Every structure is written in structure tokens, then in C-alpha cells.
């Protein structure tokens, strides 16, 4: 088996990072009812059951970066939600850098984000959390070019 040059790997990683970061819009707490689940493949009940068991024994760690959900959002939905808060898109994108508090975004009635990664967490959260606590931390990406973004946010190890 031929060894891959580390320089080639790093170039590939940089290209992917630039592609994904160019679509990244910001991170927010989003109500679980506003997270649309793509029907790509069936959700395994065993995974949902395992997650609920973890929530019961260790708590539901929605603010832990490794538990974030990745989703796409339509520009008009994000703009509307940001206007409610009196924020610009650039302020929202930099909000995490400026302070430790992750903002809650109210998307408005009928508006959703599309979950790209973390569907089992959404289902388990809806089943386990009480209604006032039914939100999750979501990394938001520009709607469109979903395949390129999905490759960049999916765990591979």
C-alpha cells in the first residue's frame, strides 16, 4: 500500500476547511421543534435509547462542542431571526468569539433548520427533555451546497 504524502493531506484538509468555513454562519441554541430531520436513512432506535440513558445518568450536555448539531438554514430565515434580536449577520457570526454565552435564536412560526448531523440527538432530546428545555446547540451553515458541508462536519474517526 502506497503511503500518502502529509503535504497532500494537509492541502486537502485546508481546501475542505476553507469550503466549510465559507458556509458557516454562526452557532445558536435552536428549539428542537424547529429542527427538521432529513430523511436520508432510518434513525436507529438503539442509538436514541442509548442517548436517553446517557442523558439520565450523566445529564444532557447540549453546550459541549462535541455534541453540537450541524444544520443548514435559509438566508431569509436567519435574517428574520437576527432582526428580532437587533443583530447583523457579522455580529452573530462573531458572537461566540466575543462572549461565552451561546444565543438562543427564535426562528419564528413555521421556520426550520435542516439537520445534517445529529438526528439521533434531536429525537432523544425531544423524548427526554421537558418542553421549556427542548433546545439544542446548532452550528448553522448556509443553505445549499449541503453535500460539501456535510463531508466537512461529519466525524470520520
List, for residues 97-125, the tens digit of each pLDDT value: 556 678 899 999 999 999 998 999 999 99
Query: What pLDDT does 3 receive?
Result: 67
C-alpha cell at 53: 440513558
Can you spell out the DSSP letters for 46-58?
HHHHHHHHHHHHH
Residue carrying the nine cell digits 445549499: 144
Taking Cα atoms as reference points, which of 60, 62, 65, 77 lies closest to residue 25? Answer: 77
Answer for the pair 20, 147: CB distance below 8 angstroms, yes or no: no
Query: What pLDDT does 8 receive?
Result: 52
- Which of 105-114, 128-137, 146-155 shows the lowest mean pLDDT across its residues? 146-155
Residue 35 CB neighbours (<10 A): 25
State the chain's mean pLDDT as an integer.
81
This prediction has a pTM of: 0.78
Taking Cα atoms as reference points, which of 116, 146, 118, 113 lies closest to residue 30? Answer: 113
pLDDT (tens digit per residue) in 35-48: 999 777 788 889 99
Q: Is the per-residue pLDDT at 24 higher than 70?
A: yes
Cβ-Cβ contacts under 8 Å for 13 (sequence gap 6 or more): none
Query: What pLDDT does 14 receive?
Result: 44
Give the residue extent of every domain in the chain.
Answer: 6-153
Query: What pLDDT does 101 receive?
Result: 79
Higher-pLDDT residue of 134 and 95 is: 134
Would you call 1 helix, strand, or coil by DSSP?
coil
The mean pLDDT of 26-54, rounded to a whole number, is 91
Amino acid at each position: 500500500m502506497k503511503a500518502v504524502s502529509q503535504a497532500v493531506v494537509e492541502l486537502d484538509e485546508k481546501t475542505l476547511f476553507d469550503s466549510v468555513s465559507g458556509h458557516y454562519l454562526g452557532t445558536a441554541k435552536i428549539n428542537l421543534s424547529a429542527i427538521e430531520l432529513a430523511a436520508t436513512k432510518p434513525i436507529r432506535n438503539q442509538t436514541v435509547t442509548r442517548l436517553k440513558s446517557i442523558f439520565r445518568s450523566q445529564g444532557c450536555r447540549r453546550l459541549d462542542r462535541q455534541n453540537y448539531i450541524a444544520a443548514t438554514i435559509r438566508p431569509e430565515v436567519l435574517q428574520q431571526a437576527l432582526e428580532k434580536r437587533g443583530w447583523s449577520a457579522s455580529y452573530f457570526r462573531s458572537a461566540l468569539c466575543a462572549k461565552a454565552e451561546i444565543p438562543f435564536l427564535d426562528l419564528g412560526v413555521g421556520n426550520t433548520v435542516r439537520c445534517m448531523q445529529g438526528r439521533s440527538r434531536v429525537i432523544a432530546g425531544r423524548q427526554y427533555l421537558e418542553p421549556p428545555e427542548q433546545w439544542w446547540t446548532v452550528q448553522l451553515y448556509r443553505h445549499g451546497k449541503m453535500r460539501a458541508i456535510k463531508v466537512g462536519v461529519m466525524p470520520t474517526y
